[in-house]
Amino acid sequence: MLTFIGLGLYDERSISIAGRDALQAADYVAAEFYTSYLVDATVSDLETAHDIDIDVRDREGVEQHPEDILRKAQSEDVAFLTAGDTMISTTHTDLRLRAIDRGIDTRVIHGVTAQTAASGLTGLQNYRFGKSVTLPFPYAHGAEGVPTSVTDSIAANRERGLHTVVYLDIKANRDEYLRASDAAEMLATDLEDMLAIAVARAGSPDPTVRADRLSALAEKDFGDPLHLLVLPGELHHLEEEALAALADAPADMLNAVDSQ
């Protein structure tokens, strides 16, 4: 049996009780933290809190060499952990399909995702979000500025009045995390200087949620990662109230959006 368990967003207590129980019952526990990571728990914190040993795998150890994981899962209970929800990432769908191909039972225990938190923390309604995008570091993208695929998706969402979650690049192996301020500066260059919401440390007890024009967000320091941005489309009245109360949105920016 191979059970994919999402750890949620923040620390060793962000996992569901069902996930924790499955984790503790497993004979072998593998994890990866290169697609995302827990903001406030080390591997050692997880091991201590749940009284388990964790075998942390790098990208190569998951994507190129998952043989020993699959072999163990043929006869034992194996748990595979990631931050957020495990099945959001293509990599792990591939691992699941390889397991099924060998006749291994698989199961998914979901975790809270940044998408859920982005909607909940901003007060923007989940059914009014369009396609999400990821903004890469310029060096990862191979060019300055914002990829056309990102600006095109944002524009297509806005044409339909929809909000966009902008995930920010994570290079965990280099300990680099694109900051909301840097992302806002990049976007302000390629888009109009529109209203945006910076969300820092979603899922933590004390997340930062701040709405302002992109050029103003570019000047701010939102503290420790992880960060993301939300670019709102048309705002309903309650959404405007939420951005004012939860994210300190400037009144003139809300009026500007409202009158579009």
Positions touching a second copy (CB under 8 A) are: 6, 8-18, 20-21, 85-88, 90, 93-94, 96-97, 100-101, 107-108, 110-113, 115-117, 119-121, 123, 125-134, 156, 160, 162, 167, 203, 205, 238, 241-242, 245-246
**DSSP one-letter string for 76-131:** S-EEEEESB-GGGSHHHHHHHHHHHHTT--EEEE----HHHHHHHHHT--GGGB--
Known binding positions: 9, 85, 88, 113-114, 168, 202, 227
Least distance to a second copy, CB of residue 15, Å: 6
Least distance to a second copy, CB of residue 33, Å: 18
Radius of gyration of the chain from Cα atoms?
A: 20
Least distance to a second copy, CB of residue 219, Å: 26
**DSSP one-letter string for 141-192:** HTSSS--HHHHHHHHHHHHTT-BEEEEE-EEGGGTEE--HHHHHHHHHHHS-
How many residues are there in the chain? 260
Dist CA 243 CA 22 (whole Å): 38
Least distance to a second copy, CB of residue 202, Å: 8
Dist CA 146 CA 150 (whole Å): 7
Contact 80, 30 (CB under 8 A): yes
Please, which residue, 140 or 238, has the CB nearer to a second copy? 238
Least distance to a second copy, CB of residue 182, Å: 21
Cis previous bond, 226, omega within 30:
yes
Phi then psi dihedrals of residue 43, to 5 deg: -60, -40
Please, which residue, 19 or 225, has the CB nearer to a second copy? 19
Dist CA 100 CA 81 (whole Å): 18
Least distance to a second copy, CB of residue 215, Å: 26
> Going by C-beta distance under 8 Å and a sequence separation of 6 or more, which residues neighbour residue 136?
147, 169, 178
Known binding positions for S-adenosyl-L-methionine: 9, 85, 88, 113-114, 168, 202, 227
